[in-house]
Structure formats: structure tokens, C-alpha cells
Structure 1
Amino acid sequence: MDLGIDGDAALVTASSGGLGKASARALVREGANVAINGRTESTLESAAADLRGEAAGDARVVPIAGDLTDPDGVRNLVSTTAEEFGGLDHLVTSAGGPPSGAFLDTTDGDWYDAYDLLVMSVVRTVREAAPHLRADGGGTVVTVASRTVKEAVDSMVLSNSVRAGVVGLEKTLSKELAPEVRANAVLPGSHDTERVRNLVDQAVERGDYESADEASAARVAEVPLDRLGTTEEFGATVAFLSSPKSGFVNGTALPIDGGSIGSNL
């Protein structure tokens, strides 16, 4: 399916790996020009080289290093993207997840760090991007959150609590930025990523499981489709929500979890 975003300009934050990179890959495969972001320049350059090898047509991939918790870095990220591509049509906000752990094991610093990383990074990026997204017929925002917004997950108190603020923001943006800009969120469950592998290792270190194989099997057992999601599946959904093909989808929080969430809504 041609999503109709060939030649568009997109920015994907925290996209040197994981689900952010998967989102960037899906967009560049559709012919969109994509700015990718990460803190480590060597990793970012490697990701850019990978994505350029999959770009459709004349689509460009521009790596822009920067820390999403640094307001000046966010301003530079958005302004450089707009200058490189002559505007900005699509924003995908992604960020690395906070550490796992139980409530009584977290400190005030852990909470402030999680809020800055997960919520304020989106606040700052959207604030800077909004004028560009509203120009020339409007654009889209897709916010990558987590299934923990719908259903609390054991030993994930920071994600369970703080990510809810991201979805509240996304819902507000879907009204305040409309009709020029559509805003939606995606709620990934377990995908085959380094982040999930790290969470598996942390669960073993806490003593929740005796081995990584046991911890991984427990994750798969929660999914009715009996497997982890692929990054390609995730990226394709983000690209769809960024495209005119989803033109009447606005203000939704879409689980991409293989049916693992237990809540009805």
C-alpha cells in the first residue's frame, strides 16, 4: 500500500535503535525524508547508514545527535530538521524506558528522571515542532508510550505511573492542535528489542526468574499470539498513523501488543 508520504519530512526521536529506529525505517521505506536522533554519535551514524540502505527513491536520512532531556538540544533537533528538509510534516516521539523495579526501591531522583525523560521530552519536542507541523496543510504526531498505560505491569512502577501523563498529553494535543495536526499514541507490548532483552536480564537479576530463557518464556506466555512482536510490524503501524490513510484517526491510544493487555478499554 502506498501511504502517500513520499517526499514528506519526518523527525523520529530516540531512533538510533529499538522501536524508534523501526519507526524511522518504516517511514524512509515509504519515501519520507527522516531525521533520526540519539545521544551517541557513533551509534547514530551507524543507524543512519543502515536506514539509507533501505530508503525508497530519493529519501534522505539525517542524523542529529542530542539529549532529549536538554531543552537546548531539543530546540536544535527540531530547527535543524526543519532547515534540512524545508519543513516538518511528521513527528514521532520516542524515548528509552525507565529502569524496572518496585515502588519502595525507587528514589525521588528516579521519579524526576523518569518524568523528564518520558513526559518533558515530549512536551518540549511538540512545543518546538508545532508551528512547523501546522504549516503547509498540517501534519501528524505519533507518541510512543507503552502497554503499561492500559494495565500496570509488575516491577514497572515508573513506567506504569509516568507514561499515563504522556497519553493525557497526546489526547489534549489531538484537540488543541486540530484540525491541522492529528495526534495519536501507540502502546507497544513486548517486541524483540534490546530494551525487552534488558528487562529480561533485570528480572533475572532481581531473582524473579532463574534464567533469561525462563523470563523470556513468561513474556511470550502473556501474548495470545504466542510470540513477541517484530519491529517491522510496529514501524508499519507508526507509518500508517503518520499517513493520510489514517486521516480520521485522531486522539487514540492504540495497543500494539498481540492481545496481551487484559483491560476491556
Structure 2
Amino acid sequence: MDLEIDGNAALVTASSSGLGRASAKALARDGVNVVLNGRDEERLADARAEVEAVAEGEVVVQPGDLTEADDIEAMVERTVDEFGGLDHLVTSAGGPPSGSFLDTDDEDWQQAYELLVMSVVRLAREAHPHLAAGEETGTIVNITSRSVKEAIDDLVLSNSVRMGVIGLEKTLSKEFAPDIRANAVLPGPHETSRIQDLVEAAVERGEYDSYEEGLDEWAGNPLERIGDPMELGNTVAFLSSPKSGFINGTAITIDGGTTGANL
């Protein structure tokens, strides 16, 4: 299906690995010019090579820390300077540390808020005039977690702080419309490098006999498998395209049916 986004420009944060990288890859495959972001320049170089292998548009990298306002401003400026505008913003960030409520101190809470919420606030603020200036409707897609639908044990920071992103996304879907649409995706476990590392470490500790056995432990859903990161990336690309033109202010759970919430 032609998503009709060829030649558009996108900034995808935390795209040196994981679901951010998959989203950038899906957009680039459909002809979008993409700016990749991350803090580790070596991982960014690897991501660029992988994305360029399928890209129909241009791919550039912009290192930066999502908790630094100046770095966020530089990401948006680089996108506009390189491609003459910004049509799509995809926000992603690494997850906060796990832990229970009583094991989490004030500094943990503040760091999680800066990373997960304030990064999106600053990105949306910086990107707004450019997203609104295009001939077509601009888009924002926030990658968060299924934890906003159903709390996950020992993830108090993710369960709590990510809810702020959903409240912001819903607000922007009204305040920025009709020039910009805002949506979110709520992933469950996908076979990213982080999960691969966790499973391989568990195999080394003798908890599983094989990688496949360990991976099956993450597949607690009706589809009986873990997600492919590109399945989420494809959804992000769709939400960034005119093909999803009447979808606005929604949060789509992508977890194989794990979450038990009705809404």
C-alpha cells in the first residue's frame, strides 16, 4: 500500500535502536527523509546503515540527549535545515528503571519525568510551527507503553509517568488540529536488542536451555509470540500517513492482545 508520504521529512527520537529504529526504518522505506537520534554515536552509525539499506529517501543522524532542551532544539533545527521542513514527529525514549514504589526515590521520579514527559513537551513545542506549515497535515506519534492501559508489576515509574504523555497527546490532538494530528502507540514486548540481551543473559545463567525458550517467556499473549519491531514501525508509518487521516487523539495498544483492559 502506498502511504503517500514519499518526500516528507520526519524526526524520530531514540532511533538508534529498538522501536524508534524500527519506526524510522518503516518511514524511510516509504520514501520519507528521516533524521535519526540517539546518544551513542556508534549505535547511531549502525542504525543509519540499517535504515539506509531499505530507504527510498535520505537518512541523516543527529546525536542528542532527550533530557537536554538545547539538544532537542538542535534536532528539530537539523531536520528543517536538511529537508526544508518537518512533516512527522515520532517520539520515543528509553524506559525508566524498574522498581517498586518504596524503592523509588525523588531523583528517580524527576529523571523519569524529564525523559518521558518533558522530552515530548519540548519536542512538540519546537516542532509545532514546522508541522503546521506543511501543505499536508502534520503528524505526531508518541511511542509509550502498554503500561498506561494496565499497570505492570515493579514498573511504578513507567506505569505512572507515561500517563502524562497520553494526557498531552490527547490535548495536542485537539489544540493542534486540524493542522496536526496526534496519536500514540502502546507497545508490549517486541524482539528488540534490549529483550534479546535480557534473554541471552538468562540463558547464560542457566534459566533457559535456549534463546527460543527464553523468548517464549515474553510471549504471554493470545498470539503466542513476541512482537516483531517492524510491526510497530509499520503502524507508526501508517499513523503518519494520509491513509490514517481520520485517526486523531487515539492510543493504539500493540501487544498481541496481552492487555486485559476493555478500553
| Interval of TM-score (by shorter of Structure 1 and Structure 2) | over 0.9
Tell me which amino acid in the other structure corresponds to 1:22. Answer: A
C-alpha distance in structure 2 between counterparts of 1:106 and 1:199, whole Å: 22
CA deviation vs aligned residue, 1:43-80 (integer Å, no higher than 9, x gap): 11221122111112xx1001000001000000011011
Match of 1:128 in 2: 126
TM-fit CA distance, 1:199? 6.1
Alpha-carbon distance change, 247 to 21 in structure 1, aligned in 2, over 3 angstroms: same
Matched residue count = 257
Match of 1:173 in 2: 172
TM-fit CA distance, 1:198? 5.6
CA deviation vs aligned residue, 1:157-189 (integer Å, no higher than 9, x gap): 110000000000000000000000000000000
CA deviation vs aligned residue, 1:189-217 (integer Å, no higher than 9, x gap): 01001233466689x7xxxx982677644
Match of 2:44 in 1: 44
Tell me which amino acid in the other structure corresponds to 2:141. Answer: V
C-alpha distance in structure 2 between counterparts of 1:74 and 1:95, whole Å: 13
Match of 1:183 in 2: 182
Tell me which amino acid in the other structure corresponds to 2:17. Answer: G
- Structure 2 residues not aligned, in runs of 5+: none
Match of 1:118 in 2: 116
- Structure 1 residues not aligned, in runs of 5+: none
Tell me which amino acid in the other structure corresponds to 2:207. Answer: S
Alpha-carbon distance change, 102 to 51 in structure 1, aligned in 2, over 3 angstroms: same
TM-fit CA distance, 1:94? 0.3
Alpha-carbon distance change, 253 to 170 in structure 1, aligned in 2, over 3 angstroms: same
Match of 1:64 in 2: 62
Q: Does 1:96 align with 2:94?
A: yes
Query: Is contact 1:8–1:32 with CA below 8 Å preserved after alignment?
Result: yes
Q: Does 1:146 align with 2:142?
A: no
Alpha-carbon distance change, 160 to 201 in structure 1, aligned in 2, over 3 angstroms: farther
TM-fit CA distance, 1:42? 1.7
For residue 90 of structure 2, give the secondary structure of its aligned residue in structure 1. strand
- Residue 225 of structure 2 is aligned with which of 187, 205, 227? 227
Query: Is contact 1:14–1:96 with CA below 8 Å preserved after alignment?
Result: yes
Root-mean-square deviation (Å): 1.8
Correspondence 1:243-258 to 2 at 5 A: 243-258=241-256
CA deviation vs aligned residue, 1:86-140 (integer Å, no higher than 9, x gap): 0000000000001111111111111111110000000001100000000023300
Query: Is contact 2:183–2:248 with CA below 8 Å preserved after alignment?
Result: yes
C-alpha distance in structure 2 between counterparts of 1:144 and 1:84, whole Å: 24
Query: Is contact 1:25–1:54 with CA below 8 Å preserved after alignment?
Result: yes
Correspondence 1:13-92 to 2 at 5 A: 13-56=13-56, 59-92=57-90
For residue 163 of structure 2, give the secondary structure of its aligned residue in structure 1. helix
Query: Is contact 2:215–2:226 with CA below 8 Å preserved after alignment?
Result: no
TM-score w.r.t. the length of structure 1 is 0.93
Query: Is contact 1:100–1:199 with CA below 8 Å preserved after alignment?
Result: no
Query: Is contact 2:216–2:226 with CA below 8 Å preserved after alignment?
Result: no
For residue 219 of structure 1, give the secondary structure of its aligned residue in structure 2. coil
- Residue 207 of structure 2 is aligned with which of 196, 205, 211? 211
Percent identity between matched residues is 61
